[in-house]
Amino acid sequence: MEQLSAKTIEIVKSTAPAVKANSEKITSRMYERMFSKYPYAKPLFKNAPKNQPQVLARSIVAYAENIENLGALDAALERIAARHVEISILPEHYSWVGESLLGAIKDVLGDAVTDEINAAWTEAYWYLANVLIEKEKKLYQSLLTEDKKKIIKDTAPILKEKGEAITTRMYEIMFNNYPDVKKLFANQPKNQNQVLARAIIGYAENIDKLSALSGAIEKIAVRHVKTNIKPIHYPWVIDSLLQAMSDVLGDGATDAVKKAWFAAYWFLANILMKREQELYQEVA
């Protein structure tokens, strides 16, 4: 990864005290900006503690103060990445925070934020964002352990048996919590709504031989690109599926079971998102 420029380091260091003195104001403003411009960010924070602005503020200040010695933050960044992966944060989310944070710094510190300072913080934000994105990518790739594959195989039959109930519930939850998703399914006949969840369950049953699914995956990716499915939509499906599993399976949907399905989902989702990105680039 490219290193931060000496100038950026200098500017971030010299402005860190002003940011620190106003850090909670800045981060509160950041959430205001983000939630009003990017309402899809809101559900990601549904389980966030009340003091999330302070948590974020502390991490930004720590970052600015350690800008010359980022190695000192590595363990902290590893923890943040792990938490982010638990809540399905994707690279596509980072511009929401970046734009909102830089806007908030400007709102709170006013004219003191020159173009030069703004440029330095922009560079510094994206540097940090990319460190997290890389860590998160690795974590997503390592989610699906052999233990989890075994749980998937053990629970696939129950999920299949209750498939109808789970998929029905999943769509109820998804359409209720993420109303914009309805538009994406506008061209689908009603009874086809369950195709997606059924496919997830079907693929999970074949968790050991996913390489055999490349043809099916290609077909889904093409369909998704035609319907304009984007990475930011992917957290909605798994969030809804896990809730539906809890509702339908009750005690059967243990933490371990849900974690295993979460891992299997992201394994497949990452293959799809990657292929879809290529297809979008081809048509662009």
- Nearer Cβ to ligand HEM (237/251): 237
Considering the complex, what minimum distance in angstroms separates the CB of residue 94 from ligand HEM? 4
Considering the complex, what minimum distance in angstroms separates the CB of residue 167 from ligand HEM? 12
Say if CB 125 and CB 101 are below 8 A apart. Answer: yes
Q: Distances in Å between the alpha carbon of 196 and those of 18, 153, 170, 201, 235?
A: 49, 19, 10, 9, 14
Considering the complex, what minimum distance in angstroms separates the CB of residue 153 from ligand HEM? 17
Considering the complex, what minimum distance in angstroms separates the CB of residue 109 from ligand HEM? 19
- Nearer Cβ to ligand HEM (146/190): 190
Catalytically active residues, by annotation = 94, 136
- Nearer Cβ to ligand HEM (257/268): 268
Considering the complex, what minimum distance in angstroms separates the CB of residue 225 from ligand HEM? 10
- Nearer Cβ to ligand HEM (70/87): 87
- Nearer Cβ to ligand HEM (9/87): 87
Residues that bind ligand HEM (CB under 6 A): 41, 44-45, 47-49, 52, 55-56, 59, 79-80, 83-84, 87, 89, 93-94, 96-97, 128-129, 132, 181, 184-185, 187-188, 195-196, 199-200, 203, 219-220, 223-224, 227, 229, 233-234, 236-237, 265, 268-269, 272
